[in-house]
């Protein structure tokens, strides 16, 4: 029985449903102590002084650490612009400033969590408040106060795309659509808030057991901040319940290592544990970037889009986090998966004193897709053309040039994906002379029949998108795997060493299947050694929809190398392989020309909604999500990813209203920030899994976990427009916003 293409049960399923699996917060060690963090709780201020006397005098408090205790007081995944702890006493300039409410100021380590909390509350900080910038547009203006005084601007990233002659094309355009769109912040809301435990292991290494997405990057960040050689820091990842990009950047990793290291230097070798509350999680880690997108598209009456001009402004919050990577994706995707001969894009990431923002499922794709797909739907309306037909006239095909002037990698399946989704949703697609496709809405599906009550309106919306697989724009890519083959005449055991982080997405099942397939053995003969920097090589991050693609290739090649040794009678046969995909290139500073990604996934969605025009409630009746995954390694897991992305995007589009005022979060509880419940999810999600092989993917597989998120919001907006006649240029579509759009409040 082949291992690839089968819905094997997840390798961690039994442990998780029985409670045997331990999440970071479940780890307890003898003689452990507890840590709490003092957050700034101010959006912008200078710390004049910190008085620790009362906290240090509290019985049960073991130590209090501040900025002066951090050997190298800086970190950052893209650029080291953030202090580990804010306050005086650091050699790096301006670390005495806090720039958002989640900046960390002091650590209290105590005999119990309750004592640590009490000690934290006894710390007295003298702040000098500084001007608070909450508008990215305001922060961009000349003369605006600088959030990072060492820089000459609050704009910390600017990308440009210049393709063709945009002004000349607009002069020729017969229809022009302009729009200003705003997308909201979004909370990751994963199952377990940030947690971990740290200790000195048997080899004297600072060891941090924590949830994350890239163990070796965490290792580098912790080692740098502690001023230690890399091999003196060890990161171990147990399974965690969700990440979605929220665990890309640091939360508790460095401070756990710092506390353990400083206590060790004082002769105290006791494990240090921390678990954030949900409220701490809501203010302590980054969110999805809010975007302002101003855009203008021009087309001919025949339905050819000939020009697009876009300005994007991303609110980065107080520090860079992964804003530059997110902005790059949004810059590429703001003109949609279409061949447009004339494009002008200017995109900016801007420091403010709002919540910091960073990686979240889609990495800028959802923001760009919302603007692009809404423009496409509005353009179809203005042209009197079916929105599917307009897409098929413009969609990227094999050899077509992106906005950045280069073609997509081989294996483009957008036309097939769009057409298949449309047919499933009731569109009729016919081919006329010359190969041109004609499209019209056929008989409505049963779910589209008129609602029984007069206050309910139904509509169907369509959107499509493409999503990069892997790191983009010249970021170095690699993924290691080590395989051991044990046995006599036949392979009795295959031990796979791999650092891929299991964050709920099922990657450990995928790499098990990949190893079994490559070796030609049953999957129950595969044993995993995973996600520990002491025993595995660097796999890169479980983000950017990359890990199935990257780990599948690394495992496949490592097994093949081990089999060569096995056939030479080497026992055990051990091989290590580093997989490197084709290189990508950064955006040219002037033109944006680049080869941005080595692989993509393609998706289209048709969404049916029901709108109550009396209450403003939007309910999703049906979602058809058509995803080209190249090859479904485990179809059940692919279906789960599609359904999960659809539900998460439903919250993004309809209910998750993240509110900030003056740099303070107003929705820091799950009672005020409303993620979808079982009553809010779509009545039906039809996951259509297409398999057009990626020429470079392992067994043809593409990465896919982010794809189904991208088209949901614009498809919902289009469906609500069909139901009500109103276009919404921002979301979430809370009842209040819907009623306001309908002119009822």
CATH number at residue 328: 3.30.365.10
Average pLDDT, the chain: 96
Whether 327 and 346 map to the same domain: the answer is: yes
Give the separation between CA 66 and CA 43, rounded to whole angstroms. 19
| Chain Cα centroid distance, residue 230 | 27
Could you tell me which residue, 611 or 438, shows the higher pLDDT?
A: 611
Instruction: Look at the block and give the residue holding tokens 């809404």.
Output: 374
Query: Which sign, positive or negative, has the C-alpha torsion 481, 479, 224, 123?
Result: negative
Whether 409 and 455 map to the same domain: the answer is: yes
Residue pLDDT, tens place only, 692-703: 999 999 999 999
End residue of a domain, out of 529, 556, 579: 579
Give the separation between CA 79 and CA 322, rounded to whole angstroms. 9
Task: DSSP for 406-460, please give it.
Answer: SBPPS---HHHHHHHHHHHTTEEEEE-GGG-EEEEE-SPPGGGSPPSSTTEEEEE
- The DSSP element (H or E) to which 573 belongs, if any, is strand 573-579
Whether 545 and 616 map to the same domain: the answer is: no
586 class by beta-carbon count within 10 Å (0-12 exposed, 13-18 middle, 19+ buried) = middle
User: How many residues make up the chain in this entry?
Assistant: 745
With CA atoms as reference, report the closest residue to 200 among 31, 70, 65. 31
* Lowest-pLDDT choice from 148-157, 240-249, 425-434: 425-434
pLDDT above 90: residue 384: yes
Residue 455: predicted pLDDT: 93
Residue 536: predicted pLDDT: 98
Neighbours of 251 (CB within 10 A): 27
Give the mean model confidence (pLDDT) for residues 203-215. Answer: 97
Instruction: Look at the block and give the residue holding tokens 């999440």.
Output: 23
- The DSSP element (H or E) to which 649 belongs, if any, is helix 635-650
Give the separation between CA 45 and CA 34, rounded to whole angstroms. 28
Give the separation between CA 495 and CA 482, rounded to whole angstroms. 8
Whether 211 and 359 map to the same domain: the answer is: no
Residue 229 DSSP SS3: coil
End residue of a domain, out of 579, 600, 622: 579
Residue 435: predicted pLDDT: 65
> Going edge to edge, which strands form the sheet with 600-612?
456-468, 600-612, 618-628, 684-690
Q: pLDDT confidence of 186, banded at 50, 70, 90?
A: very high
In this structure, is residue 64 part of a structural domain? yes
Q: What total of structural domains would you count in the chain?
A: 3
Query: Which sign, positive or negative, has the C-alpha torsion 394, 323, 294, 653?
Result: positive
Residue pLDDT, tens place only, 38-57: 999 999 999 999 999 999 99
Whether the CB-CB separation of 310 and 295 falls below 8 Å is answered with yes
Percent of the chain with pLDDT over 70: 98
Give the separation between CA 647 and CA 104, rounded to whole angstroms. 32
Whether 215 and 77 map to the same domain: the answer is: yes
Give the separation between CA 486 and CA 632, rounded to whole angstroms. 29
In this structure, is residue 10 part of a structural domain? no
Contacts of 713 (CB under 8 A, 6+ apart): 183, 366, 369, 370, 649, 652, 653, 731
Residue pLDDT, tens place only, 565-604: 999 999 999 999 999 999 999 999 999 999 999 999 999 9
CATH number at residue 40: 3.90.1170.50
Q: pLDDT confidence of 155, banded at 50, 70, 90?
A: very high
Whether 96 and 45 map to the same domain: the answer is: yes
Whether 498 and 532 map to the same domain: the answer is: yes
Residue 443: predicted pLDDT: 58
549 class by beta-carbon count within 10 Å (0-12 exposed, 13-18 middle, 19+ buried) = buried
Whether the CB-CB separation of 413 and 692 falls below 8 Å is answered with yes
Residue 240: predicted pLDDT: 87
Instruction: Look at the block and give the residue holding tokens 């996951």.
Output: 687
Give the separation between CA 526 and CA 513, rounded to whole angstroms. 9
In this structure, is residue 728 part of a structural domain? yes
In this structure, is residue 27 part of a structural domain? no
Whether 632 and 685 map to the same domain: the answer is: yes
Residue 449: predicted pLDDT: 62
Whether 637 and 696 map to the same domain: the answer is: yes
Q: Fill in the DSSP letter of residue 651.
A: I
- Cis status, amide bond into 604, omega within 30 of 0: no
Instruction: Look at the block and give the residue holding tokens 């398999």.
Output: 691
Give the mean model confidence (pLDDT) for residues 661-687. Answer: 96
Residue 38: predicted pLDDT: 98
Give the separation between CA 55 and CA 63, rounded to whole angstroms. 9
Task: DSSP for 60-114, please give it.
Answer: TEEEEE-GGG-SS--B-SSS--B-SS-STT-SSTTTTEE-STT-EEEEEEESSHH
Whether 297 and 341 map to the same domain: the answer is: yes
Residue 160: predicted pLDDT: 98
Residue 433: predicted pLDDT: 62
Which domain range does residue 684 map to?
Answer: 291-471+589-741
In this structure, is residue 181 part of a structural domain? no
183 class by beta-carbon count within 10 Å (0-12 exposed, 13-18 middle, 19+ buried) = buried
In this structure, is residue 20 part of a structural domain? no
Q: Which CA distances in Å does 716 have to 32, 87, 433, 449, 706?
A: 50, 46, 34, 18, 17
Residue pLDDT, tens place only, 72-105: 999 999 999 999 999 998 888 899 999 999 999 9
Directed axis angle between helix 387-394 and helix 414-424, to 10°?
170
Residue 534: predicted pLDDT: 98
Residue 721: predicted pLDDT: 98
Query: Which sign, positive or negative, has the C-alpha torsion 636, 638, 639, 644?
Result: positive
Residue 485 DSSP SS3: strand
Instruction: Look at the block and give the residue holding tokens 């897709």.
Output: 369
Whether 457 and 491 map to the same domain: the answer is: no
In this structure, is residue 174 part of a structural domain? no
Give the separation between CA 8 and CA 6, rounded to whole angstroms. 6
Whether 387 and 528 map to the same domain: the answer is: no
Give the separation between CA 120 and CA 433, rounded to whole angstroms. 75
Task: DSSP for 509-530, please give it.
Answer: HHHHHHHHHHHTS-GGGEEEEE
Q: Which CA distances in Å does 512 have to 3, 11, 238, 521, 719?
A: 9, 8, 17, 11, 41
In this structure, is residue 551 part of a structural domain? yes
Give the separation between CA 185 and CA 656, rounded to whole angstroms. 9
Give the mean model confidence (pLDDT) for residues 190-196. Answer: 94
Residue pLDDT, tens place only, 518-566: 999 999 999 999 999 999 999 999 999 999 999 999 999 999 999 999 9
Give the separation between CA 649 and CA 626, rounded to whole angstroms. 15
End residue of a domain, out of 250, 275, 300: 275
Residue 610 DSSP SS3: strand
Global confidence as pTM = 0.96
Residue 30 DSSP SS3: coil
**How is residue 219 written in tokens?**
């290792």
């Amino acid at each position: 029985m082949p291992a690839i293409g089968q819905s094997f049960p997840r390798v961690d399923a039994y442990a998780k449903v029985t409670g045997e699996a331990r999440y970071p917060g479940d780890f307890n060690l003898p003689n452990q102590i507890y840590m709490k963090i003092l957050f700034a709780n101010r959006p912008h201020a200078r710390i004049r002084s910190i008085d620790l006397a009362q906290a240090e005098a509290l019985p049960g408090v073991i130590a209090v650490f501040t900025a002066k205790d951090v050997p190298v007081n800086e970190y950052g995944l893209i650029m080291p612009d953030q202090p580990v702890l804010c306050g005086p006493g650091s050699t790096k300039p301006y670390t005495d400033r806090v720039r958002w409410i989640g900046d960390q100021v002091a650590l209290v380590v105590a005999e119990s969590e309750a004592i640590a909390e009490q000690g934290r509350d006894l710390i007295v900080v003298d702040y000098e408040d500084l001007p608070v910038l909450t508008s990215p547009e305001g922060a961009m203006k000349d003369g605006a106060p600088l959030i990072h005084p060492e820089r000459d601007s609050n704009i910390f990233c600017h990308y440009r795309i210049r393709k063709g002659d945009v002004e000349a094309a607009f002069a020729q355009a017969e229809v022009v659509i302009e729009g200003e769109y705003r997308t909201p912040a979004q909370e990751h809301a994963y199952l377990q808030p940030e947690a971990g435990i740290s200790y000195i292991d048997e080899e004297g290494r600072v060891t941090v057991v924590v949830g994350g997405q890239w163990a070796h990057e965490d290792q580098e960040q912790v080692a740098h901040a502690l001023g230690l050689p890399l091999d003196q820091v060890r990161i171990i990842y147990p399974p965690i319940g969700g990440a979605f990009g929220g665990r890309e950047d640091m939360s508790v990793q460095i401070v756990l290592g710092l506390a353990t290291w400083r206590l060790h230097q004082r002769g105290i070798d006791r494990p240090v544990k921390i678990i954030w509350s949900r409220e701490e999680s809501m203010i302590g880690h980054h969110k999805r970037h809010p975007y302002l997108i101003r855009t203008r598209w021009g087309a001919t009456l025949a339905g050819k889009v000939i020009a697009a001009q876009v300005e994007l402004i991303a609110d980065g919050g107080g520090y860079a986090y992964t804003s530059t990577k997110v902005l790059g994706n949004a810059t590429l995707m703001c003109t949609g998966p279409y061949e447009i001969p004339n494009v002008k894009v200017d995109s900016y990431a801007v420091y403010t004193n709002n919540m910091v923002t960073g990686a979240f499922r889609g990495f800028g794709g959802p923001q760009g897709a919302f603007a692009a797909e809404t423009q496409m739907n509005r353009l179809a309306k203005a042209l009197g053309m079916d929105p599917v037909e307009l897409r098929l006239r413009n969609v990227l095909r094999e050899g077509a040039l992106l906005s950045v002037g280069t073609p997509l990698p081989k294996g483009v399946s957008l036309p097939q994906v769009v057409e298949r989704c449309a047919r499933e949703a009731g569109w009729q697609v016919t081919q006329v002379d010359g190969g041109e496709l004609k499209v019209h809405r056929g008989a409505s599906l049963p779910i589209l029949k008129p609602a029984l009550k007069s206050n309910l309106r139904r509509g169907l919306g369509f959107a499509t998108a493409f999503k990069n697989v892997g790191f983009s724009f010249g970021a170095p890519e690699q993924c290691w795997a080590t395989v051991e083959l044990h046995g006599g005449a036949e392979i009795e055991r295959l031990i796979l060493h791999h650092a891929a982080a299991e964050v709920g997405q099922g990657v450990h099942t995928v790499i098990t299947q990949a190893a079994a397939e490559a070796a030609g053995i049953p999957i129950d003969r595969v044993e995993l050694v995973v996600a520990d920097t002491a025993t595995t090589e660097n796999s890169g991050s479980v983000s950017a929809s990359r890990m199935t693609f990257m780990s599948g290739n690394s495992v496949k090649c490592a097994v093949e190398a081990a089999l060569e040794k096995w056939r030479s009678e080497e026992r055990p046969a051990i091989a290590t392989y580093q997989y490197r995909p084709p290189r990508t290139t950064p955006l040219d500073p002037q033109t944006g020309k680049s080869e941005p990604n080595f692989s993509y996934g393609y998706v289209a969605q048709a969404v049916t909604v029901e709108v109550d025009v009396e209450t403003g409630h939007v309910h999703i009746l049906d979602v058809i999500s058509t995803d080209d995954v190249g090859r479904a390694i485990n179809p059940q897991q692919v279906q789960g990813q599609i359904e999960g992305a659809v539900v998460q995007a439903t919250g993004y589009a309809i209910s998750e209203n993240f509110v900030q005022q003056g740099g303070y979060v107003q929705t820091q509880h799950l009672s005020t920030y409303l993620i979808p419940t079982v009553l809010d999810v779509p009545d039906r999600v039809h996951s259509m899994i297409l398999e057009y092989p990626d020429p470079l993917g392992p067994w043809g597989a593409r990465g896919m976990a982010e794809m189904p998120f991208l088209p949901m919001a614009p498809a919902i907006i289009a469906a609500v427009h069909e139901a009500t006649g109103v276009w919404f240029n921002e979301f979430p579509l809370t009842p209040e916003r819907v009623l306001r759009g309908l002119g009822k409040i």
